[in-house]
Amino acid sequence: MRMTYDPDADAAYVFLVDRIADGEAAAQLPSISLPGGHSEVILDFNADGRLLGVEVLGAGRALPQEVLDRAEPP
């Protein structure tokens, strides 16, 4: 598992698999607003329904700074 973070977009992505090929994320669960309304998450699934990753928009408010500091650049 690894995570990327783009501070300009304030978006993080948590990869639950080593790599996601182009087109492999066949379905997304519509965005879920987190408490406070400043952040949301989007879940990416493959065609078999396996969860591939989680996108966090508004990551600076949703995730601890220590987690963001350890993230890779996108």
pLDDT for the residue numbered 36: 86
Contact call for residues 53 and 20 (beta carbons, < 8 A): yes
Q: Measuring CA to CA, how many Å separate 47 from each of 2, 26, 53, 56, 68?
A: 22, 5, 13, 21, 29
State pLDDT tens for residues 19-73: 999 999 999 998 899 888 899 999 999 999 999 999 999 999 999 999 999 999 9
Neighbours of 62 (CB within 10 A): 19
